[in-house]
Amino acid sequence: MQRTRRASRRKICRFCADKNVKIDYKDPKLLRYFITERGKIVPRRISGNCARHQREITTAIKRARHLALLPFLAVE
Amino acid sequence: MNINEYETTCIFQPEITEEALARITTRLEGVIEHFEGQKLAFEDLGLRRLAYNIQRFTRGRYLYWQYLAEAPCISELERIIRIESDIIRFLTIRMDEHVDVKDYQPLLQEQQEPEVSTDTESASSDVSTDSAHGDSE
């Protein structure tokens, strides 16, 4: 098996690119983009968010979970 | 004392009657008024499917308030919320600290005027969209 490191293009943070998009815990549609189908938060290296926006996403997801807008754990 | 901006979302159990809902709503808003807080916005987000069961309920009625208040108001508000058994979940978030009431004049004036029925429209559409679930395959 060949182990080649994929030269991944650096993703740009979509919240830095579009300043109009607000991160809101009441918006599960947007947040759903940053969780796996299992319900886990997608890491920054995959989502491509910058540190600041990833942090905001993380708190928003946790708040949304408390309000049952997002699952803690989605059963497959 | 400092005035802060808060947001509170309450989830009511789905079978609650409109009368009970109105009673609790006026009670909570009465607390805000009593502590000289000011309501900025109120929204009935309608009946939504819960992402997981809370007290065996699969759906919940979401109500949302945005208001200016001082800190002691929140402890009293949350005390009342905890007593109400029809509220199955709530969350209060401090959006901004040490705010100046003057900055909120436009929003406050909007609240003084009689409610326009845009809120109820969005509430009914939320029920059908059902965004809080759907990846169970």
Domains in chain B with CATH codes: 4-128 (3.30.70.60)
* Cβ B50 vs Cβ A68: under 8 Å: yes
φ, ψ of residue A8 to 5 degrees: the values are: -80, 135
Residue B131: list chain A partners with CB under 8 A. Answer: 28-29, 32
Report, as an integer, the average pLDDT of B98-103: 84
pLDDT tens track for B48-89: 999 999 999 999 999 999 999 999 999 999 999 999 999 999
**A29 touching chain B per CB within 8 A:** yes
Which helix H or strand E contains B80, and what residues bound it?
Answer: helix B71-83
Residue A28: list chain B partners with CB under 8 A. Answer: 131-132
pLDDT tens track for B17-37: 999 999 999 999 999 999 999
Closest chain B residue by Cα to residue A63: B91
* DSSP-assigned beta bridge partners for residue B64: B9, B43
d(CA B35, CA B61): 26
Residue B52 is nearest to which of A26, A29, A68, comparing CB atoms?
A68
A vs B: CB pairs below 8 A: 43
Q: For residue A74, what pLDDT is reported?
A: 86
- Exposure b/e, A44-66, CB count within 10 A at least 16 = b: beebbbeeebbebbeebbebbbb
Which of B7, B12, B49, B52 to mutate to test binding with chain A, by most A CBs within 10 Å of its CB?
A: B52
Q: For residue B32, what pLDDT is reported?
A: 94
ipTM of the complex: 0.76
- Chain B nearest C-alpha distance from A70 (Å): 5
CA torsion sign for B46, A60, B98, B106 is negative
Tell me, yes or no, if the pTM score tops 0.95. Answer: no
CB contact under 8 A, A26 and B9: yes
The proportion of chain A whose per-residue pLDDT surpasses 90, expressed as a percent, equals 62
User: pLDDT tier at B112 (50, 70, 90 boundaries)?
Assistant: low
User: pLDDT tier at B2 (50, 70, 90 boundaries)?
Assistant: confident
* Cβ A25 vs Cβ A69: under 8 Å: yes
Task: Give the number of residues written for chain A.
Answer: 76
